[in-house]
């Protein structure tokens, strides 16, 4: 915790904003954790492919977490995202396999489902002023229920074009590649989903940092009464956040589908909670107004790293993962609570 104290001291001096402070902590923790894993657990983590696999496996979660972060910045929450991902992958699977649809249609279907959820939930939350938790809870129930109505069992997609797309690997530059024990060169690769995820992160980061709309999300989450007085259309801003989050859940759903290549009612179960956890670890506060998209990326990577570390340390039983993730969440929450306390005490002092 020494570094925490130090960085907080530094923050006090330079008057760092909460957003940047929490982000710095997240990145430092992630790098420290990964380095520790490389040092103590060695080889497995040293291979660049290990890192790329982490991205491959979590591309969908990264995209969904970005949407979650955005909604959380505005002070809301969206717990329907896991359900939407499941519904999207099931619908696309059924469309491709049973209806013989094309991939483009499937993509549009995914976007359409996500957008529909975003629009309806956004309308209910922003314009009818119903609590986001309840609205998106109903959204989650609906999406999960619809998934089984679309198709009740798991099945793998055999659609030719899709399988080809699913197996497409983007080869990384040679220096990331490794030699296997026979001395054969194995290039490092990422999946298409990762490219999508990185695009989403970059675009959303720019929007939040440098666009007028982006800054409105922060203002609304910080204090929506004030935001209204400052001339911001609070309702529209909240609506937009939910629509984007829904859309990203749709995109995330397709990326998830692309990664697993099957439809199942139990897909993406608990994904909403993972996304919330990733956002929190990434320095987003549920109370709104503080958060960062890059944080969401590092949040997902941190979650994934800790899972890898736990399993490679020999704690193979499934429950250890749950417990460690929870412990990590606990630590980050306490850090956030300390940051908030630091701020209120400094205000009290300067108030005189």
Partner 1 sequence: MTTADTKKKNKPNVSELFGKIFKRQIFIPIAAVLVLLLFNLIVDPGFFSIELTRNSAGNPVLSGNLITILNNGSELAILVLGMTLVTAASGGQDISVGATIAIAGSIILRIVCGTDAKADSASFGIVLVAFLVACVASMAFGAFNGALVSIFKIQPMVATLILFTAGRSIAAWINNNQLPTVSDPSFGYIGGFIPGIPIPTPFIITVICIVLMALLLKFTNLGLYSQAVGINESSSKLNGINPIFIKFLTFVILGLCTAVCGLIKVSRVSGITYSVIAQDIEMDAILAVALGGNALGGGKFNMAASIIGAYIIQILTTTLYAYKIESTALSAYKAIVVIVLVIVSAPAVRNKTKAFFAKLKAKAAAERKEVA
Partner 2 sequence: MKDNVVLEMRNIHKYFPGVRALQNVDFTLCEGEIHALMGENGAGKSTLIKVLTGVYEKDEGQIFLKGKDKAVAIHSPQDAQKLGISTVYQEITLCPKLSVAENMYIGRLNGIGVNWRKLNKDADAILESLDIPAKATQQLGSCSLAVQQMVAIARAVDMDCKVLILDEPTSSLDEQEVAKLFKLMRDLKSRGVGIIFVTHFLDQVYEVCDKITVLRDGQLVGEYEIKDLPRVKLVAKMLGKELDDTTEIKDTSLVYDKEDAGKHVLEVEGLASVSGIKPFDFYINKGEVNGFTGLLGSGRSECVRAIFGADKVVSGTVKKDGKVIKINKPIDAMKNGIAYLPEDRKRDGIIGDLSVRENIILALQVLKGFFKPLSKAEANKFAEEYIKLLEIKTASADTPIKSLSGGNQQKAILARWLLTHPEYLILDEPTRGIDIGTKIDIQKLVLKLASEGMSITFISSETDEMLRTCSRLVVMRDRKVVGEVSGDDMNQSKIMSTIAGGESK
Position 215 contacts partner 2 (CB under 8 A): yes
Position 13 contacts partner 2 (CB under 8 A): no
Query: 142-201: which residues touch partner 1 (CB under 8 A)?
Result: 142, 144-146, 148-149, 152
Mask for 45-84, x = binds partner 1 (CB under 8 A): --------------------------------x-------
Q: What is the helix (H) or strand (E) element at residue 289, kind and residue range?
A: none
Position 18 contacts partner 2 (CB under 8 A): yes
d(CA 85, CA 107): 13
Report the 10 Å Cβ neighbour count for 31.
12
CB of 152 or CB of 206, closer to partner 1: 152
Mask for 268-297, x = binds partner 2 (CB under 8 A): ---------------------xx-------
Position 300 contacts partner 1 (CB under 8 A): no
DSSP string computed for 68-125: HHHHHHTT---TTHHHHHHHHHHHHHHHHHTS---HHHHHHHHHHHHHHHHHHHHIII
Q: How many residues bind partner 1 (CB under 8 A)?
A: 47
Position 340 contacts partner 1 (CB under 8 A): yes
Position 19 contacts partner 2 (CB under 8 A): yes
Q: Phi and psi (nearest 5°) for 116?
A: -60, -45
Position 346 contacts partner 2 (CB under 8 A): yes
Position 116 contacts partner 1 (CB under 8 A): no
Minimal distance in Å, beta carbon 223 to partner 2?
5
Please list, in sequence order, all residues whose beta carbon lies within 8 angstroms of the beta carbon of residue 17, skipping any fewer than 6 positions away. none
CB of 93 or CB of 192, closer to partner 1: 93
Residue 201 contacts residue 66 (beta carbons within 8 Å)? yes
Minimal distance in Å, beta carbon 66 to partner 1?
19
CB of 10 or CB of 341, closer to partner 1: 341
Q: Phi and psi (nearest 5°) for 78?
A: -135, 105
Could you say which of 63, 96, 227, 277 contacts partner 2 (CB under 8 A)? 227
329 token code pair: 């969440």
Position 4 contacts partner 1 (CB under 8 A): no
Give the residue among 289, 259, 264 at the shortest CA–CA distance from 62: 259
Could you say which of 280, 296, 301, 306 contacts partner 1 (CB under 8 A)? 280
DSSP string computed for 17-53: -HHHHHHHHHHHHHHHHHHHIIIIITHHHHSHHHHHH
Minimal distance in Å, beta carbon 182 to partner 1?
39
Beta bridge partners of 179: 185
3-state secondary structure of 314: coil
Q: At what angle do helices 81-97 and 132-150 cross, to 10 degrees?
A: 20
Could you say which of 133, 158, 167, 169 contacts partner 1 (CB under 8 A)? 133
Note the residues at the interface with partner 1 (CB under 8 A).
Answer: 77, 124, 127-131, 133-135, 137-142, 144-146, 148-149, 152, 265, 273, 276-277, 280, 286-287, 317-323, 325-327, 329-330, 333-334, 336-337, 340-341
């Amino acid at each position: 915790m020494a570094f925490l104290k130090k960085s907080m001291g530094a923050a006090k001096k330079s008057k760092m904003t909460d957003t940047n402070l929490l982000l710095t902590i997240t990145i430092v923790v992630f790098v420290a954790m990964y380095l520790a894993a490389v040092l103590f657990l060695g080889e497995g983590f040293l291979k660049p492919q290990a890192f790329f696999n982490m991205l491959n496996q979590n591309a969908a979660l990264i995209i969904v977490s970005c949407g979650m972060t955005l909604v959380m910045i505005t002070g809301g929450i969206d717990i329907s995202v896991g359900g939407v991902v499941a519904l999207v992958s099931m619908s696309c699977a059924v469309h491709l396999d049973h209806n013989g649809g094309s991939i483009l249609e499937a993509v549009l279907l995914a976007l359409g489902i996500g957008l529909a959820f975003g629009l309806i939930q956004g309308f209910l939350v922003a314009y009818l002023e119903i609590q986001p938790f309840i609205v998106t809870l109903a959204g989650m129930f609906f999406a999960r229920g619809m998934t089984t109505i679309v198709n009740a069992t798991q099945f793998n997609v055999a659609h030719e074009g899709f399988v080809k797309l699913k197996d497409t690997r983007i080869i990384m530059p040679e220096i990331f590649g490794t030699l296997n024990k026979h001395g054969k060169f194995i290039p490092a690769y990422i999946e298409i989903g990762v490219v999508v995820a990185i695009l989403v992160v970059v675009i959303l980061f720019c929007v939040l940092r440098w666009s007028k709309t982006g800054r409105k999300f922060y203002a609304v989450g910080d204090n929506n009464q004030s935001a209204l007085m400052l001339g911001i259309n609070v309702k529209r801003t909240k609506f937009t956040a939910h629509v984007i989050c829904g859309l990203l859940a749709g995109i995330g759903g397709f990326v998830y589908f692309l990664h697993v290549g099957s439809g199942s009612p139990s897909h993406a179960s608990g994904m909403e909670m993972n996304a919330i956890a990733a956002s929190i670890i990434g320095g987003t506060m549920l109370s709104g107004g503080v958060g960062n998209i890059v944080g969401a990326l590092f949040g997902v990577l941190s979650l994934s790293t800790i899972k890898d570390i736990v399993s490679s340390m020999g704690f193979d039983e499934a429950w250890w993962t749950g417990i460690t993730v929870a412990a990590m969440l606990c630590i980050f929450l306490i850090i956030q609570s300390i940051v908030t306390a630091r701020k209120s005490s400094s205000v009290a002092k300067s108030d005189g």
